[in-house]
Amino acid sequence: MSAPLRVSFASGVRHALPYLQLLGRDPRVEIVGVAEHDDCPDWMIADSRRAAADAGVPWLGDIARALDSQAVDLVVVCSEPTRHARLAIDALERGIDVLIDKPVAATLADADAVAAAAHRSGRICTVVNRTHAPGLRRARAWVDAGHLGLPRHIDVEFLASGAHFATSVERPELVVDPALSGGGELLNFLGYCVDSIRYLTGLETVSVYAMAGSLFDNGHARFGVEDTAVVSLGLEHGVTATVTVGRVPFAPGLGPTSTSIRLLGSHGHASIDDDRPAVTRFGHEPSVSSHALGGGGSEAALAGFFTHLVDALAAGRAPDYGIADARASVSVIDAAYRAIASGAVTVPR
């Protein structure tokens, strides 16, 4: 048996516990532990320590121990979003592969800095994404096989249920205070949607228009960030997409988040639902059939990507989602915020 993949966590204030649990189930992975900057606020250190304790893995103390290239093969960055780029660049420059929680960075400039560091170091740099969701994979296979014809339009909804806010977000300020989050729910969720659109079509976004507001949550309104947004995208070759993201009182799903995608092709129409992974097929004849894909929507998407990542690193190759993909998503998010500010259509940079 080959040596285990040694994985440390640089900060644990966001999403660390489920990631520790998922990676810890892989027998090829050894969790080295969780660490935090010792000059962080006390609550950050306490939250990171709690994530380690709840997962039953070592607490390493200062973050330098999580970035020791002699003891670690892969660092998972699970800080607040505004610290993602700083931690990732530090790890890359020490010669360690990096998995960053989404989004890769809070600004396009920081995403470019991470990409530059990855290029200089030659290390693998990837970002948490949902492109390994079973339903999305099945739909892509149908596109590749020509069952749907040429993609014409995609409609994506990614909604978080405000009814589950207390259980789906470690601390509300991590998604509403721009000093920690970098923005509102556009920054939090739009990347997932852009990833899905790029994965299904292979097309880049060429124009963006967006509207956003604080419609439901007083916390978002107090900090002046959006809880809901509607985004229109123009893709290459005249294909279009619409995206709705938000934290709403009751998302139309079974868990904290709900994802649905409708892909309209020249010869067919497919719907993908993460909560009940299934593809509904409208055939040439007046018939409709549903193809179940198994449950566990959000966890299935993460587990699929983490297994793929460990497979890739064990084989000495890069995963199928890299820093260029993450940068492409941030560029659309950046364009959406510029469209909101200007009231005009913008072009991703």
Query: Which among 73, 92, 97, 99 is positioned nearest to 11, based on CA atoms?
Result: 99
pLDDT band at residue 253 using 50, 70 and 90 as cut-offs: low
Q: What is the reported pLDDT for 213?
A: 96
Q: What is the reported pLDDT for 169?
A: 86
Separation of alpha carbons 267 and 152, rounded Å: 10
The region of weakest confidence among 18-32, 68-82, 153-167 is: 153-167
Q: What is the reported pLDDT for 161?
A: 84
Residues 83-107 have pLDDT tens digits of 999 999 999 999 999 999 999 999 9
Q: What is residue 35's three-state secondary structure?
A: strand
Would the pLDDT of 179 be above 90?
yes
Q: Mean pLDDT throughout 167-188? A: 92
Residues 106-148 have pLDDT tens digits of 999 999 999 999 999 999 999 999 999 988 999 999 999 999 9
Q: Mean pLDDT throughout 28-54? A: 97
Number of helices (H), then strands (E), belonging to the chain: the values are 12, 14
pLDDT band at residue 276 using 50, 70 and 90 as cut-offs: low
Q: Mean pLDDT throughout 10-24? A: 96
Please calculate the CA angle 85-327-135 and round it to the nearest 5 degrees.
Answer: 115
Residues 289-345 have pLDDT tens digits of 655 555 556 788 899 999 999 999 999 999 999 999 999 999 999 999 999 999 999
Would the pLDDT of 1 be above 60?
no
Average pLDDT along the chain: 93
Would the pLDDT of 224 be above 80?
yes
Separation of alpha carbons 113 and 103, rounded Å: 14
Would the pLDDT of 21 be above 90?
yes
Q: Mean pLDDT throughout 225-254? A: 93
Please state whether beta strands 151-161 and 240-248 pair in parallel, antiparallel, or not at all (unpaired): parallel
Q: What is residue 185's three-state secondary structure?
A: helix
Q: What is the reported pLDDT for 96?
A: 98
Q: What is the reported pLDDT for 260?
A: 92
Separation of alpha carbons 156 and 272, rounded Å: 9
Q: Mean pLDDT throughout 281-286? A: 67
Domains of the chain: residue spans and CATH: 5-127 (3.40.50.720), 134-295+329-342 (3.30.360.10)
Would the pLDDT of 275 be above 90?
no
Give the neighbor-by-neighbor strand order of the sheet with 257-265: 205-213, 228-235, 240-248, 151-161, 257-265, 269-273, 278-282, 288-292
The partner residues of 260 in beta bridges, in order of sequence, read: 157, 273
Q: Mean pLDDT throughout 24-37? A: 97
pLDDT band at residue 250 using 50, 70 and 90 as cut-offs: confident
Q: What is the reported pLDDT for 252?
A: 76
